[in-house]
Structure 1
């Protein structure tokens, strides 16, 4: 016989004390880290002036956690107690199990009580945590504004606010209840299983033995589940407006006439089933009544599925366009509203082909700002000539417009940031990483088409300390403590001076003078901050850190804004701005998005489908002290209006943005790309044309260079251009993107997002005549490849120890024509620095090229012959106002040419002696080009 051992019994008081002790240590273990993190976060928000934002968001989060955790626990534990009461007569008091060959008796009811508490607490904690993460959905529902009530959907006549704010909250709440219903059903099945071994035998009149099944608890769980499921089916009717179909999005003819009615009937059938289950629970429970509770909904489901198949197959498909026409029209109208396409103006563009149509004399602002520096080529060049030290980097190139000598010019800027990962391993220690190497330094600025005689960028801002060649552009605070590569915490205002910039054999040192960051204060505060940031063994014991020292954390501008306002979507490309006060700022575009705009088609953004997008906010971050400001640029957006009600101190009006910064706001790249993708289909506003896809557009493609250096076809990126739009009188900063017909290479139109003055945020689409074939970027690329002289030269260069890099092909409207421009660079295999060798320009029926922009322009507009080694054209040959002015980026002096030729000759002789024939050939080519230019000057 097995030995029997009873489970040790505990007094209720001892058991309660044990639970309290476990809960206390769990709170200490898991809560101390959370409390510490909240403390440091509060200090960080306070340093930015957003402590009330932190308090409000934290208060909402914890309120949601508390409400749903407590409610979930009360529901589940109350359900445990109710089931135990229902099954009290059938539950065994003890249950024997075998452990190590010994029979152990478990007190079933005590264990159930303990499991009820533990399971309820665990599920409550998980439910509260999940709902806590969804606090923006609930907050938007509670603070939803009146804005947006003017837009109603055409099916249910519900206002826009219902879909943006109310429906997502309903979905969240019903999803929570549905999970609870499933868990409640599982618990009921568990009790049913446990009570099965202790059921009494009933003798029926026919002397048949029967084991009555206690179904009361399961019937109640079924009733709860069916009621919640009925609510879920009911609100799913509204979700049909978000469905994307093959041809269009939203409700179809079949949905309107069958599906919506069917879902309403099924919801009513589920409620009827819930009533049957409740009746079964209060009467003598029977299994057949539980099955009967499910039957109405199941029958209705199959009936309406069959009816929907019949309508779709025999009524809609034979006459699909006629049946679906009104629903297609609704989809077109509301998709255009959701993506802001209804704000786009539409104009005709003749796309003429002659030189006269380009009208160079009246489009000087456009021609003088054609971007010949490809941003990747410029980045590689700057890394060679302006990094100065290996631990600096230029992570990105930005394009903007500045007034130079009284003339607005398009320029390219690059921030010189400190990359601590590039520091030598021997110098990687806590003091260097946290106290000394704390910031980057300065920026570079160059005109988009400015080249020196050596093919390098003509820099307006350069070097360390920052030097400026234009009096109106100065940098007085060049230190970059907050940027795109500042991914580590640093401590400033310490006794240890910080590295500022290299100067000869020594280093220039500095100390932080700003007010940004968290003051470390006294010993206790210092210990708490150090514990949170992982510096507990360093900060409290460092002699360099004082009470006045400051912690700069979340210095990456993306991390910074996402920590302050995580509910916004941010553009991937922050850009640097030089203020009139000489300080550096970062500007970022922020968006509000939704996937519940009625009858709007979804498009992917960051791997998530959305069907509504607004560029509602511009964020400005001071690169020196980290001050972060959020400016609202689209107050009509209902989502940002709701967030302004939640966080009134976070957002500022656009009118309060400083004037010098307002001049540099721009139409966001991300928004233009999304709108262009949608516009390619939804520019067709006629349902018949839309249905047949008669005029489908796509974003144009070009030949680009992949990551491994090979040429490949890729979609054009938006291009910023300082130009005079057709029909306008003044030049403005716009972002353009060309369209081609689907599966074709010829161009059909282009879109321009405007950035200046009163036109900011508006956009225009220019349509080409459908009776005219206009070359697209791929066709111009093919014309370049088919030119015998160009093709031969490019092949030759690729065989001389170097390779050819082709820049982005730009498509620039000029007058009533299109001007195509592509820079071509030559890069030695042993040198990562590309050098501009050719500029290719084209009109619809003319292709010209030259080693300089002036020579290519002369060949295109003045009729001179294109040449790979031509000298710059004389003033008489050049179009009006295109000649280089003294000191202009494209000018060169005779003395510079002579000095350059002498250096090329010396380099040629040296490289030949070293046997580096490929590099020597390049120097010989450069020497020949300079001699040709000198001959032209002599003539």
Structure 2
């Protein structure tokens, strides 16, 4: 008989522990696998752009912060549990008996609590570490910020700018974390008091007095009071960021009462912590803990009452006198924070005569007035240049180029591929990922170039791209990276890519760039497919090989945000045709902060800031996706800190190719925010500021709502190629006019300069306060009140079409302001508007014509305005042997408009008989138009 084998004995408790550890390990691996793969793919993507060190630096910062705060949180919480448990161990219940049916079972309390505390500490530690990872820019700036300071900029505390921008935010995050932990530990100590105190009370005779164990709670309360004291101390600096009715920052009451009073509150909290600590080592009494809290509460109430008294009875009756120096601080530092102190001020006479416009010496300005409204141009290009339904022009950009030896202002539009517009039968993986991979080409037209049919005069157009200007060519028209490229594609595959339609066939191509992630072997391909949600197709495609590449994050906004999420970006990128013929996207990037001392806060998109600098220009190659960050403001302290963190991410502006450098421009987002701030903070005298005597707002204009109705809205910045007053050269500037608050007349205008040594500077032109200068809404009213114009527009709206009015432009020329508005006619069945009228106006003169030249001659040459074209339309070719009538439509329309104006005049004069005759003539003319 075989001998029995004695197996090693394993207790059920140890088996359960092993099973638990194995299950936890498997769960951890499964949960972290996706994260690890995502990090791997991100690393490949950063490395493909040459920013591998940026990725590793970011990841290392994030995980160091996660580890430090996660481990510290766990040790503090679990260590506090063990310490409190040990302190209450003599009064701790040994177990709890429960009954299941008729059988009793005793549950051990201490092991269960220890397990719960362990799991809770781990969970809170993981959540804390993850939340702190998001704050990595705050800690990175604190660690890498230059230690050298340029002197005190804060007039209240004497602290340096670096303290408020870098040190204070980091300390606030740390103190907030410690305050949360202190609160949790206090709750834990209360829990132990309830558990151990309740067990002790039950274990004793009810007639015997039982004293609660206050030692653990006393220690935790002392810790909480110390953290509160630190928090109150830091909150003193928060007073610099407070917003008040008149101004922002520290007030008279804050400076003379609150700031000093908070120091007494801090001292009272420290005293309370000492009392609580003494209570922990001496005879423990609950009353002492109440005494520990009372001094701080009393000090806080006293400070609040004193501040209320000073504010109500000392400041309010003499507010301007008391607050004057603090208003001056707010004005000075707000202007610094938004760069308003860099503005130069000039006077603009805003004269009203034709001679003051000086047309002879301002021909470059006049010849570059933008008559193409970008909405109208976009709709027109979608009709004449999309060519296929799956193309789209998502935006129109305005820039300046040298054309035939002269600088001209032009409008550019990129023809991008919109995968969502592919025919339903073509929506498959091969088409969307391998064939339809990119858009193609670009259009360019002068801002005031029109054909006789009212269409844009195109300099660059069609597919392949055709140019009408010698020296202006596009060598790489393919758009792999743009504003609509929201999907991943695979290039350098065995499948040819669709390039552009060509007759009955299609022109095909293969990607020749070095952008993207190399797919490599089967394992890497599977990893990439799993991360990008393409596991069912990519690993098994015969068209993909080891040299194929994945192009991901092709949307330029997503691309720059992934590379440098700590920067704020202008949401409107613009396209540039370089001297080498390559297409590049340019995005303005900003550093922002909400911790600039004494500066007022303003809303920027979805965030609130009080500091902004346009320090970086980002250039993204539309073909291979190469992304470069160029530094344009070396004095920005925030960017200087980020350059220390990521030295390889940023390049000096001097390294930008000249073909790109000459197309940089003043950021639209920055000018709009600066204009909003300047409307209030151009008043540098505290008394004027306090009384709001000279409050400005951005001028309003008539716009089109979503339903096509007219609405009043703030004007958008307008790019103009012009000669600034008292300047000699032509510049590309961004202008925005101002009006007094709640008024429609203009009071001044701001110009953001973009060229040469003036790049990044701004000039504000002030109008004489004794002169009334019409604003955009007043000019619009003058157009509406013109009998011939209103009659013409009314007539057009009744003939199976509708009138579309472009944006009214306010253009300084000479010593006067010139207003220009294009008016388009759009058929109801066609979304393609055509220019039919140009309206020009000076302060005391309004003129119009069917072309810009006619309107210009009317306003400066003294010719009468006319609605009729000076050149009759050519007769249409005969069809089926029937000749077409060569009727002049514009002449008939002009005749109808004249009849309507005469009818309105005669009716107003009471000459009803003559008015009836004019009405009959108007009906006769309309019949002619209907017949034709």
Following superposition of structure 1 onto structure 2, how do residues 241-260 of structure 1 map, counting pairs within 5 Å?
A: 241-260=240-259
Structure 1 residue aligned with 2:131: 130
Structure 2 residue aligned with 1:331: 330
* Residue 212 to residue 11, structure 1, CA distance change in 2 (3 Å): farther
Structure 1 residue aligned with 2:857: 858
Following superposition of structure 1 onto structure 2, how do residues 146-157 of structure 1 map, counting pairs within 5 Å?
A: 146=147, 149-157=150-158
Q: In structure 2, how many angstroms separate the alpha carbons of the residues matched to 1:576 and 1:923? A: 42
Q: In structure 2, how many angstroms separate the alpha carbons of the residues matched to 1:851 and 1:482? A: 40
Structure 1 residue aligned with 2:834: 835
Q: In structure 1, how many angstroms separate the alpha carbons of the residues matched to 2:308 and 2:28? A: 57
* Residue 276 to residue 849, structure 1, CA distance change in 2 (3 Å): same
1:722 match: secondary structure: strand
Structure 1 residue aligned with 2:65: 64
Following superposition of structure 1 onto structure 2, how do residues 299-698 of structure 1 map, counting pairs within 5 Å?
A: 299-698=298-697
Contact (CA 8 Å) 2:868, 2:890: kept in 1 or not? Answer: no
* Residue 353 to residue 834, structure 1, CA distance change in 2 (3 Å): same
* Residue 478 to residue 925, structure 1, CA distance change in 2 (3 Å): farther
The number of residue pairs the alignment matches comes to 887
Contact (CA 8 Å) 1:632, 1:651: kept in 2 or not? Answer: yes
Contact (CA 8 Å) 2:492, 2:548: kept in 1 or not? Answer: yes
1:495 match: secondary structure: coil
Contact (CA 8 Å) 1:808, 1:823: kept in 2 or not? Answer: yes
Work out which of the residue numbers 849, 874, 881 in structure 2 matches 1:898. 874
Q: In structure 2, how many angstroms separate the alpha carbons of the residues matched to 1:26 and 1:869? A: 80
Q: Is 1:50 aligned to 2:26, yes or no?
A: no
Q: In structure 1, how many angstroms separate the alpha carbons of the residues matched to 2:114 and 2:304? A: 45
Structure 1, unmatched stretches of 5+, are 1-8, 873-893, 913-919, 930-939
Contact (CA 8 Å) 1:399, 1:410: kept in 2 or not? Answer: yes
2:520 match: secondary structure: coil
Structure 1 residue aligned with 2:266: 267
* Residue 576 to residue 530, structure 1, CA distance change in 2 (3 Å): same
Deviation at 1:367, TM superposition (A): 0.2
* Residue 275 to residue 339, structure 1, CA distance change in 2 (3 Å): same
Q: Is 1:172 aligned to 2:148, yes or no?
A: no
Q: In structure 2, how many angstroms separate the alpha carbons of the residues matched to 1:606 and 1:208? A: 68
Q: In structure 2, how many angstroms separate the alpha carbons of the residues matched to 1:615 and 1:901? A: 57
* Residue 922 to residue 607, structure 1, CA distance change in 2 (3 Å): farther
Contact (CA 8 Å) 2:867, 2:894: kept in 1 or not? Answer: no
Q: Is 1:718 aligned to 2:717, yes or no?
A: yes
Deviation at 1:86, TM superposition (A): 1.1
Q: Deviations over 1:823-848 (max 9, x none)?
A: 11111111111111111100000001
Query: TM-score normalized by structure 2?
Result: 0.92
Contact (CA 8 Å) 2:792, 2:893: kept in 1 or not? Answer: no
* Residue 357 to residue 77, structure 1, CA distance change in 2 (3 Å): same
Structure 1 residue aligned with 2:95: 94
Structure 2 residue aligned with 1:212: 211
Structure 2 residue aligned with 1:879: none
2:199 match: secondary structure: coil
Query: TM-score normalized by structure 1?
Result: 0.92
1:354 match: secondary structure: coil
Q: In structure 1, how many angstroms separate the alpha carbons of the residues matched to 2:732 and 2:121? A: 60
Contact (CA 8 Å) 1:803, 1:829: kept in 2 or not? Answer: yes
Q: In structure 1, how many angstroms separate the alpha carbons of the residues matched to 2:358 and 2:100? A: 95
2:182 match: secondary structure: helix
* Residue 100 to residue 333, structure 1, CA distance change in 2 (3 Å): farther
Q: In structure 2, how many angstroms separate the alpha carbons of the residues matched to 1:923 and 1:497? A: 55
* Residue 368 to residue 218, structure 1, CA distance change in 2 (3 Å): same
Q: Deviations over 1:905-935 (max 9, x none)?
A: 999999x9xxxxxxx9899869999xxxxxx
Q: Deviations over 1:772-800 (max 9, x none)?
A: 00001111011111111111111121222
2:490 match: secondary structure: strand
Between 334-343 and 499-508, report the one with greater CA deviation.
Answer: 499-508
Contact (CA 8 Å) 1:632, 1:653: kept in 2 or not? Answer: yes
Q: In structure 2, how many angstroms separate the alpha carbons of the residues matched to 1:124 and 1:908? A: 85
Q: In structure 2, how many angstroms separate the alpha carbons of the residues matched to 1:164 and 1:243? A: 16
Contact (CA 8 Å) 1:411, 1:447: kept in 2 or not? Answer: yes
1:281 match: secondary structure: helix
1:361 match: secondary structure: helix
Structure 2 residue aligned with 1:193: 194
Structure 2, unmatched stretches of 5+, are 1-9, 898-932
Between 90-99 and 730-739, report the one with greater CA deviation.
Answer: 90-99
Following superposition of structure 1 onto structure 2, how do residues 29-48 of structure 1 map, counting pairs within 5 Å?
A: 29-48=30-49
Q: Deviations over 1:494-522 (max 9, x none)?
A: 00000000111211111000000001111
Q: In structure 2, how many angstroms separate the alpha carbons of the residues matched to 1:240 and 1:131? A: 25
2:91 match: secondary structure: coil
* Residue 488 to residue 139, structure 1, CA distance change in 2 (3 Å): same
Contact (CA 8 Å) 1:202, 1:212: kept in 2 or not? Answer: no
Deviation at 1:104, TM superposition (A): 5.0
2:708 match: secondary structure: coil
Q: Deviations over 1:4-41 (max 9, x none)?
A: xxxxx987644543443233112211111011011111
Q: In structure 1, how many angstroms separate the alpha carbons of the residues matched to 2:365 and 2:463? A: 32
Structure 1 residue aligned with 2:224: 225
Contact (CA 8 Å) 2:877, 2:884: kept in 1 or not? Answer: no
Q: In structure 1, how many angstroms separate the alpha carbons of the residues matched to 2:883 and 2:891? A: 7
Q: In structure 1, how many angstroms separate the alpha carbons of the residues matched to 2:465 and 2:201? A: 93
1:720 match: secondary structure: strand
Q: Deviations over 1:658-715 (max 9, x none)?
A: 0000000000000000000000000000000000000000000001111211100011
Deviation at 1:750, TM superposition (A): 0.2
Deviation at 1:525, TM superposition (A): 1.2
Deviation at 1:150, TM superposition (A): 3.3
Structure 2 residue aligned with 1:779: 778
Between 478-487 and 220-229, report the one with greater CA deviation.
Answer: 220-229
* Residue 109 to residue 900, structure 1, CA distance change in 2 (3 Å): farther
Q: In structure 1, how many angstroms separate the alpha carbons of the residues matched to 2:829 and 2:98? A: 76
Q: Deviations over 1:501-557 (max 9, x none)?
A: 011121111100000000111111111111111111211110000001000000000
2:89 match: secondary structure: coil
Structure 1 residue aligned with 2:743: 744
Q: In structure 1, how many angstroms separate the alpha carbons of the residues matched to 2:405 and 2:896? A: 37
1:209 match: secondary structure: coil
Deviation at 1:149, TM superposition (A): 2.9
Structure 2 residue aligned with 1:915: none
Q: In structure 1, how many angstroms separate the alpha carbons of the residues matched to 2:712 and 2:173? A: 43
Structure 2 residue aligned with 1:705: 704
Between 147-156 and 598-607, report the one with greater CA deviation.
Answer: 147-156
Deviation at 1:192, TM superposition (A): 2.0
* Residue 273 to residue 902, structure 1, CA distance change in 2 (3 Å): farther
Following superposition of structure 1 onto structure 2, how do residues 865-904 of structure 1 map, counting pairs within 5 Å?
A: 865-871=864-870, 897-898=873-874
1:274 match: secondary structure: helix
